[in-house]
């Protein structure tokens, strides 16, 4: 496969920089700084140091024996991103971008958040590096993720509830970009996924590829060969691209992204951007978008705030259209069932986002033989969701 | 098609002769409804506007502040206004006798979904003279720009105080006028403009023979006057949209509609001076 993105931030036809002129200079400065520091051995060593000593990397690749036996079929390995500091893969990216912000001489960082995981990871890194931090969060999400709001405040960040539009992640992203335009001098925007304008999709992928790099090495050490399938949940797609990227040239490895089907892809309430979306420009890049026939972006729905997003990173659109990866929908109900199964068979409560990936594995594993291997990204732990899950399980769907 | 003089060029030429600066108001089409938008455009013309920006409401208006965001939300929820509706408002306005040049202000995705070829056929047929697409920087606009040239529609680019060495490249491609963003941030009323605004405007002026206009945050006669010696046009958006917002209850009442339109007319007359 050819190297993507190209110099204009294009993954095939996808990606680009569809932003107001007021942001172009900031994006070009950012790209320049990233190109410079990503080749700077000192910067690389600093990122590596914090990932190791602060976040606890490498995370383990764990053979989920009881889950594998229960499902019957393939051997299932969990890449334990939930064991990172702050409980999810998001910290891989915020450490990288936080250090970059510092190198660029910025004293303030801003971030958007849906479930709150990226907000927490940003607030954490801000505290660690002595940066001021503002996190924009949809008002509806601040309610369903109250605990994470408090965690961010405890870490010294200011949480700004976003009242515009859908009051969820989509509009939190818009508001962060708007704020950035007017505070670009001293403020760095830590975007949390592989979405948005170039260079974010490339940069966030590079900071997250450690998930796949480690997994690829670990599975070969453990099983003596590459996996047959690699599975990860996709909202914006950062944990999935991080997992997939190092396997892209391994043709025998099938890549499956799992998106949130909410109440079902045939209802109005889902976040199945790949299954039901069309090509379009949204929040700075050309990719798949959930939209109506007139090009208005449609609100998404998912039980998981982290997947509740009507767009997806442009590199995923490229992997889909080149058929290198497949993207499959999992409903709220299927994710809840998977969450309970993993909790009971392995003693691991996954985040609702990660539970979508597990649900796909529940479908896939029994169709495979016992000498086949699935590696699945367990992107985050479920503690943040426990209260919501209690509500769903007691109240019914 | 490209042989006819574009109405925007004709307007600037006439204004130059008269020694006047163009007043270019913006409104969100469909706020509060499509028929009222036609009447508001009429009121803008009567009040002395020289051309008008027809804003297409969008679900994710990245470049816009709260006032225009709210107008978009009203237009989308009340009237489910589409790109085509907005373009047809131009035709209806012509049929109502309005002569102002029309500039369509739209985010890129609605245009992309409609299809670029069909889009240019439609805007040409319905009397649109110019196009502003705030989320289509020069790096991404090659295809659309070529089609606009072909259709004789002016693609009006934005330049910002941070555009630096991009100013020249942007200005070189500009048609109609160069839209100079007065300050960093989103659209909306503000007291202060970007530090170095005068230098910035001078830089743009020296980079091109195309007319230049300034916008973002301009809301008073005083501010219009402040810029009128430096630029060929002044764009007033959020301040007018806010006037319309205040007048919505009047505009929606058959008995009081004229009163609402009169308030908007009075505000724009005052800006005109």
Q: Give tens-digit pLDDT for A195-209.
A: 999 999 999 999 999
Does any domain span residue B201?
Answer: yes
Q: What is the CA radius of gyration of chain A?
A: 19
Q: One digit per residue, pLDDT tens: chain B, 273 residues?
A: 445 799 999 999 999 999 999 999 999 999 999 999 999 999 999 999 999 999 999 999 999 999 999 999 999 998 799 999 999 999 999 999 999 999 999 999 999 999 999 999 999 999 999 999 999 999 999 999 999 999 999 999 999 999 999 999 999 999 999 999 998 888 887 777 777 899 999 999 999 999 999 999 999 999 999 999 999 999 999 999 999 999 999 999 999 999 999 999 999 999 998
CA–CA dist B31, B231 (Å, integer): 29
- On the CB side of B98, CA atoms within 13 Å amount to 29
Does any domain span residue B210?
Answer: yes
Q: Across the interface, do A18 and B108 touch by the CB < 8 Å criterion?
A: yes
Q: Contact, A119 vs A148, CB < 8 A? A: yes
**Domain at A56-87+209-394, CATH class:** alpha beta
CA–CA dist B156, B53 (Å, integer): 11
- In the residue annotation, B53 being an active-site residue is answered as yes
CA distance to A101, A201, A251, A283, per residue, from A4 (Å): 24, 10, 17, 20
**Chain A residues touching B134 at Cβ < 8 A:** 20-21
**Chain A residues touching B63 at Cβ < 8 A:** 20, 22
Tokens standing for A126? 């801000």
Omega into A275 within 30° of 0, i.e. cis?
no
Question: Tell me: the pLDDT tens digits for B63-92?
Answer: 999 999 999 999 999 879 999 999 999 999
Task: Note the pLDDT of residue A396.
Answer: 61
What CATH number does residue B56 fall under?
A: 3.20.20.70
Select the residue of B62, B82, B137 nearest A174 (Cβ to Cβ): B62
Q: Across the interface, do A24 and B137 touch by the CB < 8 Å criterion?
A: yes
For tokens 């959020």, name the residue. B238
CA torsion, ordered A288, A289, A293, A294, to nearest 10 deg: -120
**Residue B18 burial (CB count, 10 A):** 7
**Chain B residues touching A112 at Cβ < 8 A:** none
Does any domain span residue B117?
Answer: yes
Select the residue of A21, A165, A294 nearest B158 (Cβ to Cβ): A21
CA–CA dist B144, B132 (Å, integer): 12
Does any domain span residue B31?
Answer: yes
CA–CA dist B12, B127 (Å, integer): 18
Q: Specify the CATH number of the domain A10-52+90-200.
A: 3.40.50.1100
**d(CA A385, nearest CA chain B) in Å:** 28
**Chain B residues touching A24 at Cβ < 8 A:** 137, 139, 160, 162-163, 166
Residue A82 — pLDDT band, cuts 50, 70, 90? Answer: very high
State the alpha helices, DSSP H only, in chain A: 21-37, 41-49, 65-71, 90-103, 117-129, 139-144, 146-154, 169-182, 200-208, 210-223, 238-244, 273-276, 314-321, 332-346, 352-364, 386-395
Q: What residues have CB less than 8 Å from A71, skipping those under 6 apart?
A: A361, A362, A365, A366
The answer to whether residue A1 scores a pLDDT higher than 80 is no
List chain A domain ranges: 10-52+90-200, 56-87+209-394
For tokens 């007691």, name the residue. A394
Select the residue of B59, B63, B181 nearest A296 (Cβ to Cβ): B59
Choose the weakest-confidence range: A328-342, A345-359, B2-16, B117-131: B2-16
The answer to whether residue A143 scores a pLDDT higher than 90 is no
Task: Note the pLDDT of residue B1.
Answer: 46
Task: Note the pLDDT of residue A2.
Answer: 57
Report ipTM (2 d.p.).
0.95
Q: Across the interface, do A296 and B76 touch by the CB < 8 Å criterion?
A: yes
CA distance to A327, A381, B111, B132, per residue, from A79 (Å): 19, 12, 42, 47
Residue of B88, B110, B119, B137 best to disrupt the A interface, most CBs of A under 10 A: B137
Task: Note the pLDDT of residue A152.
Answer: 98
Name every residue in A having a CB less than 8 A away from some CB of B.
8, 16-22, 24-26, 164-165, 170-171, 174, 177-178, 181-182, 184, 278, 280-284, 289, 291, 293-298
Does any domain span residue B273?
Answer: no
Q: From A307, A229, A247, A225, select the one nearest A274 (Cα to Cα).
A: A307
CA–CA dist A135, A133 (Å, integer): 7
CA–CA dist B114, B29 (Å, integer): 18
Which of these is catalytic: B31, B53, B85, B232? B53
The answer to whether residue A76 scores a pLDDT higher than 90 is yes
CA–CA dist A311, A159 (Å, integer): 23
Task: Note the pLDDT of residue B117.
Answer: 98
Give the residue numbers spanning the domain of B41: 22-262
Does any domain span residue B3?
Answer: no
Average pLDDT of A76-103?
98
**Chain A residues touching B62 at Cβ < 8 A:** 19-20, 174, 177-178, 283-284
The residues of A annotated as belonging to the active site are 90, 112, 379
The answer to whether residue A343 scores a pLDDT higher than 60 is yes
Q: Name the closest residue on chain B to residue A286, using Cα atoms.
A: B109
Task: Note the pLDDT of residue B3.
Answer: 59
**Chain B residues touching A169 at Cβ < 8 A:** none
Q: Is A349 helix (H, G, I), strand (E, B) or coil?
A: coil
Select the residue of B82, B108, B159 nearest A294 (Cβ to Cβ): B82
Select the residue of A19, A181, A284 nearest B185 (Cβ to Cβ): A181
Q: Across the interface, do B184 and A22 touch by the CB < 8 Å criterion?
A: yes
- Domains in chain B, number: 1
Residue A96 φ/ψ, nearest 5 degrees:
-60, -50
């Amino acid at each position: 496969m050819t190297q993507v993105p190209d110099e204009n931030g294009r993954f095939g036809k996808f990606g680009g920089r569809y932003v107001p002129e007021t942001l172009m200079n900031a994006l070009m400065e950012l790209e320049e700084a990233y190109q410079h520091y990503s080749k700077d051995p000192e910067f690389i060593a600093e990122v590596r140091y914090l990932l190791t000593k602060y976040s606890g990397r490498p995370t383990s690749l764990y053979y989920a024996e009881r889950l594998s036996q229960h499902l019957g079929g393939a051997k299932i390995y969990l890449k334990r991103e939930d064991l990172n500091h702050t409980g999810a893969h998001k910290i891989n990216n915020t450490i990288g971008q936080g250090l970059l912000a510092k190198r660029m001489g910025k004293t303030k960082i801003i971030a958007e958040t849906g479930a709150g995981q990226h907000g927490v990871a940003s607030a954490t890194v801000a505290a660690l590096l002595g940066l001021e931090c503002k996190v924009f969060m949809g008002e509806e999400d601040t309610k369903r993720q109250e605990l994470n709001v408090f965690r961010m405040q405890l870490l010294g960040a200011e949480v700004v509830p976003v009242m515009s539009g859908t009051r969820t992640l989509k509009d939190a992203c818009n508001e962060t970009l708007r704020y950035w335009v007017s505070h670009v001098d001293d403020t760095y925007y830590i975007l949390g996924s592989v979405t948005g304008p170039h260079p974010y999709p490339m940069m966030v992928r590079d900071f997250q590829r450690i998930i796949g790099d480690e997994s690829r090495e670990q599975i070969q050490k453990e099983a003596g060969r590459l996996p047959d399938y690699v599975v990860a949940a996709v909202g914006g797609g950062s944990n999935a691209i991080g997992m997939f990227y190092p396997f892209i040239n391994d043709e025998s490895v099938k890549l499956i992204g799992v998106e949130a089907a909410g109440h079902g892809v045939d209802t109005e309430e889902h976040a199945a951007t790949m299954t039901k979306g069309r090509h379009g420009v949204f929040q700075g890049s050309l990719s798949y978008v959930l939209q109506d026939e007139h090009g208005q972006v449609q609100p998404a729905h998912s039980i998981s705030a982290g997947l509740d997003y009507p767009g997806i990173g442009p590199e995923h659109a490229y992997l889909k259209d080149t058929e290198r990866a497949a993207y499959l929908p999992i409903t709220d109900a299927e994710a809840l069932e998977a969450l309970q199964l993993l909790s009971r068979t392995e003693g691991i409560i996954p985040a609702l986002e990660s539970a979508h990936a597990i649900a796909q594995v529940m479908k896939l594993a029994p169709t495979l033989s016992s000498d086949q291997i699935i590696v699945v990204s367990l992107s985050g732990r479920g503690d943040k969701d426990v209260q919501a899950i209690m509500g769903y399980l007691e109240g019914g769907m | 098609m490209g042989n006819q003089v574009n109405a925007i060029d004709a307007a600037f030429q006439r204004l130059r002769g008269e020694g006047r600066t163009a007043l270019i108001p913006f409104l969100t089409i469909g706020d509060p409804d499509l028929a009222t938008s036609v009447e508001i455009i009429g009121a803008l013309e009567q009040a002395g506007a020289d051309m008008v920006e027809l804003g297409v409401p969008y679900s994710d208006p990245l470049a816009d502040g709260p006032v225009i965001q709210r107008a978009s939300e009203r237009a989308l929820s009340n009237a489910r206004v589409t790109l085509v509706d907005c373009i047809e408002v131009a035709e209806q306005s012509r049929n109502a006798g309005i002569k102002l040049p029309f500039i369509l202000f739209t985010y890129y995705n609605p245009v992309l979904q409609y299809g670029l070829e069909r889009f240019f056929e439609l805007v040409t047929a319905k009397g649109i003279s110019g196009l502003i697409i705030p989320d289509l920087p020069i790096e991404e606009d090659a295809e659309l720009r070529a089609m606009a040239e072909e259709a004789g529609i002016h693609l009006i680019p934005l330049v910002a105080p941070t555009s630096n060495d991009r100013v020249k490249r942007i200005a070189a491609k500009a048609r109609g006028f160069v839209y100079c963003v007065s300050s960093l941030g989103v659209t909306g009323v503000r007291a202060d403009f970007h530090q170095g605004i005068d230098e910035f405007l001078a830089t743009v002026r020296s980079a091109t023979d195309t007319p230049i206009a300034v916008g973002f945050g301009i809301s008073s006669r005083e501010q219009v006057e402040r810029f009128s010696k430096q630029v060929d046009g002044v764009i007033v958006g959020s301040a007018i949209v806010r006037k319309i917002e205040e007048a919505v209850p009047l505009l929606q009442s058959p008995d009081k509609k004229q009163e609402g339109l009169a308030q908007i007319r009075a505000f724009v007359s005052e800006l005109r001076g």
